[in-house]
Amino acid sequence: MKFKAMTAIAALLLAPAAFAGGADDDVLVINGEIEMTTKADAPAHLDGALDQVISGWHFRADETQQLETDDFENQGMIFVDQAIDQWNTAAGSEGKSCADCHGAPEDNMAMVTATYPKYDSDAGELQTVQMQMNECRTERMGADPWKYDSGAAVNMEALIASVGRGTPVQVAIDGDAAPYYEQGKEMYYTRYGQLELSCANCHEENFGNYIRADHLSQGQINGFPTYRLKNAKLNGVQSRFKGCIRDTRAETFSPGSDEFVALELYVKSRGNGLSVEGPSVRN
């Protein structure tokens, strides 16, 4: 009876509000020159689920949207500037910086965010951008790994995303990545917690509606890392996963866990065709 009551409460919270208007038709151009694809035909593997994939930018208020159109207004770029310093600073026993191997971020990193998570045959596992960064730190720089979604790690991930803005998301879900995709998909549709809610309940079945005072988006992650006005900091996608599952009143997984790595691949693939936006600005 308790779970039935919780489910009923959840249904009320997700009911369409009278002022719910779905996604707007605004156009996102960053710095007057980077034209972003914020709506695209859904990738083939979403057949029957969605006809169109839509960036979370379209579900924000005009004043929040405006912050992302100019790097001088985008608070997330403060952390990108910090990461540039980190990129050029030698660390670890090898005395190497990121720049020593990769040069300037814009020269070699533009496709990274668009294609990760990616299966690494040498490592024998699916790797996220942060996992790849830590492999570089431990194996090539002789430095300590960063804690998953720590400030330094998220800042560097935002720097890498920023030089790929406008590039279409194109993560692979076949071959060696397929088992991770299937695991992530199962998680996406699994109900968690006392509220018995899945990712799909909010972001597939109810996007455009309101849950309490929050306008639900499709939960696309092409804009991560994301600066959230709510907590005034840059947020990693797996920390957002943790928060979502916690909000269902469930025991949650940790950033960097096998479960969240698989979920990141699946959710990222749902946005194939949208532009990389990070660091974006959201509520």
Q: List binding-site positions for substrate.
A: 240
The fold of 30-281 is: Cytochrome Bc1 Complex; Chain D, domain 2 (1.10.760)
Q: Please determine, for residue 58, whether its predicted confidence score (pLDDT) is greater than 50.
A: yes
Say which of 36, 67, 237, 244 is annotated catalytic. 244
Interval 76-130: pLDDT, tens: 999 999 999 999 999 999 999 999 999 999 999 999 999 999 999 999 999 999 9
Planar angle of CA 64, 74, 97, nearest 5 degrees: 145
Residue range 240-246: mean pLDDT, rounded: 96
Active site residue 40: no
Question: Taking Cα atoms as reference points, which of 190, 163, 166 lies closest to residue 35?
Answer: 166
245-279: pLDDT as tens digits: 999 999 999 999 999 999 999 999 999 999 999 99
Check pLDDT > 50 for residue 5: no
Contact (CB, 8 A) for 155 and 80? yes
> Range with the lowest mean pLDDT among 20-34, 50-64, 238-252?
20-34
Q: Where are the domains of the chain?
A: 30-281
Quick one: three-class SS letters along 78-123?
HHHHHHHHHHCCCECCCCECHHHHHCCHHHHCCCHHHHCCEEECCC
Q: Which residues carry a binding-site annotation for heme c? A: 98, 101-102, 136, 199, 202-203, 244
Specify the residue for token string 């076949």: 174
